[in-house]
Amino acid sequence: MYASSSAGNHPEEPAWKPWRRFDAIELPLATRRWLLAEGSLTAQLQATSGNRLRVRVLSQHWRRPRPAERRALALATHEVALVREVILECAGEPWVFARSVLPAATLSGRLRHLRRFGERSLGALLFATRGLRRQPFELARVGAPHRIVPATLAPAQPVWGRRSVFHVYGKPLLVAEFFLPACRLAPL
C-alpha cells in the first residue's frame, strides 16, 4: 500500500499513519525494527558506513510548513519555521533524504544555535542534548513519483519514510526521514 495525496493531504505530503496502524504484511518485523529504532539515525548510519557519513544540505529557508507539518507541530497557518532539507550520504551514495521543520519559537534561547548548523547532522546535535523527548513515529510508504523526495533522488521503487516530533527543552521540532534504495541499514 502506497501513500497518496488523495486523502486530503497536500500533494507533496505522504499519508502519514501511526506505526501501529500497519499490519505485519504491510510492515514486516525486520523493517519495523529498523524504522522504529529510537536511537540516533546519524550514529547508525556512521556505524554502517564505516564513518563515511556526509550531510549535504539541499535547502534551508524560513517558510510556512506544509499543512500536515503545521498540524503535527500545532502551528497556526501564518506561523513560519526554518525548513531544512538534507541528504545523508554514506560512502558517496544518498541513503536518506531528511526534512526538518523547526518553528521560529523553538529556535530561541538554548536552541538558538540550531539556526545555523551548516553541514552538521541535526540528529547528532539532538541526541547530544539533555532534555530530549521524542513522540511516537508515524510512517508512510511512498511510491514513485512522489514529490516529497526531490526529483534528483526520485526512486523507481517505493520507499519508507518515518517522522516524529521531538521536544527539546519543551520546544517542538519535526523530523521526517525517507530511506532511499541505496540505504543498507536493512532490507526494504
H-only helix segments in the chain: 29-35, 41-48, 67-73, 122-127
129-150: b or e for each residue (b if 16 or more CB lie within 10 Å)?
eeeeeeeebbbbbbeeebebbe
- For residue 165, list its beta bridge partners: 174
pLDDT tens digits, residue range 11-33? 567 889 998 888 888 888 888 88
Higher per-residue confidence, 5 vs 145: 145
Mean pLDDT within 35-48: 85
**pLDDT category of residue 152 using cuts at 50, 70 and 90:** low
The one-letter amino acid code at 11 reads P
2 is a domain residue = no
How many alpha carbons fall within 13 Å on the CB side of residue 82? 20
The one-letter amino acid code at 66 reads R
Q: Is the peptide bond before 150 cis (omega within 30 degrees of 0)?
A: no
Residue pair 179/120 in contact by the 8 Å Cβ criterion: no
Per the structure, the count of domains in the chain is 1
184 is a domain residue = no
pLDDT for position 175: 95
7 is a domain residue = no
Residue pair 185/168 in contact by the 8 Å Cβ criterion: no
Domain of residue 95 covers: 17-179
187 is a domain residue = no
**pLDDT category of residue 3 using cuts at 50, 70 and 90:** very low
186 is a domain residue = no
3 is a domain residue = no
22 is a domain residue = yes
149 is a domain residue = yes
CATH number at residue 63: 3.40.1410.10
Residue pair 186/93 in contact by the 8 Å Cβ criterion: no
Mean pLDDT within 142-156: 66
**Percent of the residues in the chain that have a pLDDT greater than 90, as a whole number:** 36
